[in-house]
Amino acid sequence: MVSTVAQSLLAWYAKHARDLPWRRQRDPYAVWVSEVMLQQTRVETVIPYYSRWMERFPTVEALAAASRDEVLGTWEGLGYYRRAHNLHQAAHMLVTEYGGKLPGEVDKLRRLPGIGPYTAAAIAAIAFNRDVVALDGNLRRVISRLIDLPIDPRSPEGESQLRSWALGELPSGRSSTFNQALMDLGAMVCVPRIPDCVTCPLAQFCLAFQRDVQDARPVRTQRRPIPHITAAAAVLRRGEQVFIGRRPEGVLLGGLWEFPGGRLEPGESLETCLRREIGEELSVEVEVSAKLGIFNHTYTHFHVTVHAFECELKGEEPQALEHSEVRWVSPENLEEYPMGKVDRAIARTILEHAGRPSVSG
């Protein structure tokens, strides 16, 4: 028995489903890659990354065989770099434990790094058509409005109400379509701001619409203000080469390469900061010379202003005290080393100073 809600939803989806690259086949690997890329990331942003990724790593085996820098380099710019690291790790596990095939069971999927409750359910539903609910931001918003949920949809109680509603409406054996239809409805009609209730196929079932409180659903939780910090970075030179280090795993921008440096402490000058940081990280003394530039950036939970300086080494060789790996590289080769936004901007500036225009803006 298919509920009226499901009937209306699936009829709408039959006409309006988005044509997305990862929907053109039902390869579990492709579904997995797309789901991980889509975590906290817009569809339009993901599409070009997804295409490049599937070209370079078309199978679990190809991904497992790739180098860390190939993987991170393909991911560069997408953010939340632990996702790429986890994808790589999970590919190794899949090759050794599952013959390179993704399992279709939620509990087995959950054991792979980077696969949480949502992604496990999404793969099980979309790729294997299992009768499970993949509760993402879209479904939380759509269902919060349908049932006029007056509490935080991420709280245990809110989550439980959303899930039991969805399970009750889910047409058995059509889970793949049902879940994706709710996501598309959330992405195109039941959008966060100014939902298009006039064209919504579920308006007749929507309690928030009937009560005209759709703008107040889902209920929002408060966020904390984010601080602003100042930092200094050093471009150490040895002849034509410059110094970079790889950030350790599990920290901000883990696994990516960077120019050494760090956060300015209260009352400290930029020069003192840089000499202190280089001493702590690399156990060498430097002389701070020309300023290369000032770079602003916003991360998830703080803003930063980075002052980059050319620095001269006094004799000794830098030690990798806080980096997992360090290297002297020619500026024209910097591109091969995956970096976050700020360090990539510094790298481009170095190239410009060397009289080579950056590749793109």
Q: How far is the CB of 1 from DNA (least distance, A)?
A: 28
Instruction: Single out the residue of 41, 129, 241, 349 in contact with DNA (rule: CB under 7 A).
Output: 41
- 258 lies in the binding site for DNA (CB under 7 A): no
Active-site residue flag, 35: yes
- 144 lies in the binding site for DNA (CB under 7 A): no
- 55: amino acid identity, one letter: E
Cα–Cα distance, 16 to 6 (Å, whole number): 15
**Span near DNA by CB under 7 A; candidates 71-79, 97-105, 259-267, 318-326:** 71-79
Binding mask 331-360 for DNA (x = CB under 7 A): ---------xxx------------------
C-alpha pair distances (Å), 250 with each of 30, 57, 82, 83, 260: 26, 24, 7, 11, 18
**Span near DNA by CB under 7 A; candidates 34-42, 167-175, 197-205, 260-268:** 34-42
Q: How far is the CB of 317 from DNA (least distance, A)?
A: 28
C-alpha pair distances (Å), 18 with each of 11, 23, 181, 246: 14, 9, 9, 39
**Is there a cis peptide before residue 28, judged by omega within 30 degrees of 0?**
no
DSSP letters of 199-261? T-TTGGG-HHHHTT-GGG-SPPPP-----EEEEEEEEEEETTEEEEEEPPTTSTTTT-EE--E
Instruction: Single out the residue of 122, 132, 231, 264 in contact with DNA (rule: CB under 7 A).
Output: 122
> What are the tokens at 146?
């349908």
**Out of 35, 258, 277, 310, which one is annotated catalytic?**
35
Q: Which of 56, 51, 60 is nearest to 27 (CA)?
A: 60
Q: Which residues are the active-site residues?
A: 35
Contact positions vs DNA (CB under 7 A)? 20, 34-35, 38-45, 77-82, 86, 113-120, 122, 136-138, 141, 180, 183-184, 186-187, 191-193, 220, 223-225, 251-254, 297-301, 340-342
